[in-house]
């Protein structure tokens, strides 16, 4: 090979080597110039837990020990003779008004979030109490006795009987006669059996300060009720800034202390009454509230009257209260009185 050919071969090799080097450099440059790939930042969504509330009032729990205890139901006299002697009712989370003999009424006051001393006058049980207490998760039950057959029914139901004949030393005795028995709720809560738990909620509640949004809610000054019969107990509730002020038989309903009964909510649950098969001490038949099924309900809450329906499929189930659109009626957090009134017995004010 002559010198000229050798020179040309060397020149070609140099050009090829330069091209390879340039390609490598350019390749590395393009890799360095590519933007880095990074995942978008993730933002953790904070989880919030609603503060616990008492099941029977919807109010914030201020004492976990009280929130964990069972409900206590106390039967309280509501005749004219008891007026001015009734105590502790303003502390009841829920108070049921039930029809008894002759058009008189009796109270089943349910305590859970608040204590009271004294409560009374404590009176005897009725068969309606089986249904009233059945969905309260085996509540404690204070009463001054009852017909033998009634007590047998109660003791076979979903409650813990702490009547006077079972726990006589737990009762306070003030004077004589039928209205002599009173209790202190702390004394009875101290008798709670092992394993007892709190009741389930009975109502739906609005947020604090939220307006009534139920379908068909109407402004009213209050309602009146008439229980019929020979005694024909007359009840009215009038709207106030704090709730609904109760009156009975034409007079403000006040406790012995002078405290006016003024619950945040009133539920008028229209129910039929059947013959219980028992009679009172005078031989008068005792009525029994029919609390399983459905019917009309009026709910007074937040200055409004909501006309709707109640429904309860069985004794163990809670009672639902729905508006004209079928949505749950949300109550004001606070205390509630439930009037188990005969159908057609109410009128708005």
Q: Is the peptide bond before 121 cis (omega within 30 degrees of 0)?
A: yes
Residue 225 has phi, psi (to 5 degrees) of -135, 150
Q: Is 102 left (phi over 0), alpha (psi -120 to 50) or beta?
A: left
Distance CA 228, CA 278 (A): 20
Asked whether the predicted pLDDT for residue 287 surpasses 60, the reply is yes
Beta strands 304-312 and 218-219 are antiparallel
Q: What domains are defined for the chain? A: 64-348 (3.50.90.10)
Give the pLDDT confidence score for residue 40 in this predicted structure.
52
Asked whether the predicted pLDDT for residue 209 surpasses 90, the reply is no
Per-residue pLDDT reduced to its tens digit, 30-87 = 444 444 444 555 555 565 678 999 999 999 999 999 999 999 999 999 999 999 999 9
- The two tokens of residue 183 are 């209790």
Give the pLDDT confidence score for residue 14 in this predicted structure.
33
pTM (two decimals): 0.86
339 and 266 in contact (C-beta within 8 Å)?
Answer: yes
């Amino acid at each position: 090979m002559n010198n000229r050919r050798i020179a040309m071969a060397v020149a070609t090799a140099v050009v090829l080597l330069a091209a390879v080097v340039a390609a490598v450099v350019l390749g590395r440059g393009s890799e360095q110039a590519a933007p880095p790939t990074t995942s978008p930042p993730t933002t953790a969504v904070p989880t919030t837990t609603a503060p616990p509330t008492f099941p029977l009032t919807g109010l914030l729990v201020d004492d976990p020990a009280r929130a964990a205890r069972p409900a206590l139901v106390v039967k309280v006299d509501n005749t004219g003779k008891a007026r001015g002697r009734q105590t502790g009712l303003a502390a009841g989370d829920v108070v049921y008004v039930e029809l008894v003999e002759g058009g008189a009424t009796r109270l089943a006051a349910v305590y859970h979030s608040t204590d009271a001393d004294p409560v009374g006058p404590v009176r005897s049980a009725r068969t309606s109490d089986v249904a009233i207490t059945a969905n309260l998760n085996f509540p404690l039950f204070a009463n001054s006795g009852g017909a033998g057959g009634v007590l047998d029914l109660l003791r076979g139901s979903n409650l813990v009987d702490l009547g006077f004949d079972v726990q006589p030393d737990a009762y306070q005795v003030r004077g004589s006669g039928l209205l002599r028995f009173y209790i202190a709720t702390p004394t009875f809560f101290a008798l709670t059996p092992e394993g007892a738990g709190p009741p389930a909620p009975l109502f739906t509640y609005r947020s604090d300060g939220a307006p009534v949004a139920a379908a068909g809610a109407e402004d009213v000054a209050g309602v009146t009720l008439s229980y019929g019969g020979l005694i024909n107990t007359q009840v009215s509730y009038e709207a106030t800034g704090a709730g609904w002020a109760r009156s009975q038989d034409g007079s403000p309903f006040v406790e012995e202390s002078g405290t006016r009964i003024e619950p945040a909510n009133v539920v008028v649950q229209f129910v039929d009454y059947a013959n219980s098969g028992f009679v009172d001490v005078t031989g008068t038949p005792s009525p029994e509230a029919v609390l399983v099924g459905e019917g009309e309900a009026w709910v007074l809450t937040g200055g409004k009257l909501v006309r709707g329906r109640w429904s309860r499929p069985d004794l163990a189930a809670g009672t639902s209260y729905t508006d004209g659109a079928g949505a749950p009626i949300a109550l004001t957090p606070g205390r509630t009185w439930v009037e188990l009134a005969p159908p057609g017995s109410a009128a708005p004010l």
